[in-house]
Amino acid sequence: MTEFLHAGRDDIRRAATLLREGAVVAFATETVYGLGGDATNDSAVAAVFVAKDRPRFNPLICHYPDADTALADAVASAVARRVAKVFWPGPLTLVLPRANRCPVSLLASAGLDTLALRVPAHDVARSLLQQVGRPVAAPSANRSGRVSPTTAQHVQVELGGRIAAILDCGPCDVGVESTVLDLCSAQPKLLRAGGTTIEAIEALIGSVELCSGTLNTIRSPGMLASHYAPSLPVRMGAAKVGKREALLAFGAPLTGASLVFSLSDQRDLSEAASRLFAGLRMLDEQAAALGLTGIAAMPVPDQGIGRAINDRLRRASAPRPPKEESCP
Ligand code: TXA
Ligand code: MG
């Protein structure tokens, strides 16, 4: 049985106790719900991989209540400290070399000598992390390869019965995962577009190398081409809707669709990001009853958080691998 907890003091304490005991607990962050395990405990980390069916070669992000605690586990350059100071807490993950005495399980970083660190901007998450008193490894709380959850109900559908508890804090504000920035070498590299815009990062530290898609599978194994996928195939940049397609609209919807989810009537990119995963889930669930076999997604500007939206749609529309090779 999965315990359903709420954001009150006693429930946060209960979630922290479960995590300290090595159990797996889902909790909200400002981006998406995470599936947490004590990052210093090998068997807790292993349980996170098992609950998600996640391949062990795909490392996890470690979550911390504040920047000082996070950077103590890594080798942080002056640039990394500056970035942390400006963007933490917030939807940005930094990949840095592991510190010599880093207590994080090697399983969490999939044997790499680097660590992905993040300080979420979510009061309940930070209070939980403070009470756990150890880094919490947390991938998104979905089955591997599927759409990330932005509500506790999504987590329940994905992982109910497989995990100890879900800490319900309502819908996530940002709606797409954190930006992943590799600061291990002099040239900063963007490993995943996300909630912190590349424009804002470049304004602070200058040009960032864009690493994307399959070229990037070794540095950031989670960025395999097909990921974040609903069951139905997604077609991007749609200018017309096919007879058997549901519509993911941005701005005024195209005519002719029998099932429509609007990301943002006003073409507001932040609103669209926050509704993206819920929209893909909704269309996926309702399409079959209407005889629909695909999702047509209207174009979204490739700027600001729109880049993260397009990245997720691109992965959702990539050819799917055969089942047994299914990616993280
Ligand atoms: O917003 C988020 O980042 C959410 C919330 C829960 O914090 N977490 C999340 O985790 O999206 P996950 O596991 O779904 O994605 C983590 C990404 C993966 O693409 C993984 O390959 C990459 O970060 N990653 C983790 N550790 C890494 C490392 N040491 N080097 C390079 N990439 C790494
Ligand atoms: Mg994920």
Q: Please indicate whether residue 228 or residue 116 has the higher confidence score (pLDDT).
A: 116
Ligand 1 in reach of 219 Cβ (< 6 A): yes
Domain ranges across the chain? 3-223, 234-317
pLDDT reported for residue 309: 98
With cut-offs at 50, 70 and 90, classify the pLDDT of residue 223.
low
Strands 234-235 and 294-297: parallel
Instruction: Compute the average pLDDT of residues 104-125.
Output: 97
Residue 146 clears pLDDT 70, i.e. is over it: yes
The 10s digit of each residue's pLDDT in 76-106 is 999 999 999 999 999 999 999 999 999 999 9
Q: Which two tokens stand for residue 307?
A: 């880049």
pLDDT reported for residue 321: 66
pLDDT reported for residue 322: 61
Give the dihedral sign, CA 300/321/138/96. negative
Residue 206: CB partners within 8 Å, gap ≥ 6?
none
pLDDT reported for residue 277: 96
Ligand 1 in reach of 147 Cβ (< 6 A): no
- The CA distance from 130 to 160, in Å, is 26
Ligand 1 in reach of 164 Cβ (< 6 A): no
pLDDT reported for residue 328: 38
CATH number of 234-317: 3.40.50.11030
With cut-offs at 50, 70 and 90, classify the pLDDT of residue 212.
low
Residue 69 clears pLDDT 80, i.e. is over it: yes
Ligand 1 in reach of 61 Cβ (< 6 A): yes
With cut-offs at 50, 70 and 90, classify the pLDDT of residue 319.
confident
- What separation in Å is there between the alpha carbon of 326 and the centre of ligand 2? 13
Q: Which residues surround ligand 2, an ion (CB under 5 A)?
A: 140
- The CA distance from 203 to 183, in Å, is 16
Looking at ligand 1, which residue's alpha carbon is closest to its atom 33?
220
Residue 226 clears pLDDT 70, i.e. is over it: no
State how far Cα 171 lies from the chain centre.
14
Give the amino acid at 217. T
61, 184, 216, best to mutate for ligand 1 pocket (most atoms within 8 Å of CB): 61
The per-residue pLDDT of the chain, averaged, comes to 93
Instruction: Compute the average pLDDT of residues 5-26.
Output: 98
- What separation in Å is there between the alpha carbon of 222 and the centre of ligand 1? 7
With cut-offs at 50, 70 and 90, classify the pLDDT of residue 318.
confident
With cut-offs at 50, 70 and 90, classify the pLDDT of residue 324.
very low
Residue ranges of alpha helices (H) inside the chain are 9-20, 42-52, 67-71, 78-87, 123-132, 152-159, 198-205, 269-287, 306-317
- What separation in Å is there between the alpha carbon of 195 and the centre of ligand 2? 14
- What separation in Å is there between the alpha carbon of 328 and the centre of ligand 2? 7
Ligand 1 in reach of 177 Cβ (< 6 A): yes
What is the residue whose two structure tokens read 């898609």? 213
pLDDT reported for residue 227: 61
Beta strand extents in 33-118 (DSSP E only): 33-38, 61-63, 92-97, 114-118
The 10s digit of each residue's pLDDT in 239-253 is 999 999 999 999 999
Ligand 1 in reach of 180 Cβ (< 6 A): yes
Architecture of domain 3-223: Alpha-Beta Complex (3.90)
CA separation, residue 108 to residues 29, 81, 97, 222, 307 (Å): 19, 23, 14, 13, 28
Of ligand 1's atoms, which has the minimum distance to the CA of residue 61? 25
DSSP single-letter state for residue 78: H
Q: Which two tokens stand for residue 213?
A: 């898609």
Of ligand 1's atoms, which has the minimum distance to the CA of residue 60? 25
Instruction: Compute the average pLDDT of residues 138-143.
Output: 97
Nearest to 39 by CA among 107, 90, 91: 107
- What separation in Å is there between the alpha carbon of 220 and the centre of ligand 1? 8
Residue 136 clears pLDDT 50, i.e. is over it: yes
- What separation in Å is there between the alpha carbon of 106 and the centre of ligand 1? 15
- The CA distance from 64 to 120, in Å, is 8
Residue 17: CB partners within 8 Å, gap ≥ 6?
none
- The CA distance from 125 to 41, in Å, is 19
Q: pTM here?
A: 0.94
pLDDT reported for residue 325: 40
The ligand with the least distance to the CA atom of 178 is 1
Q: Which two tokens stand for residue 243?
A: 């007879």
Nearest to 281 by CA among 127, 151, 139, 141: 151
Residue 134 clears pLDDT 90, i.e. is over it: yes
Ligand 1 in reach of 191 Cβ (< 6 A): yes
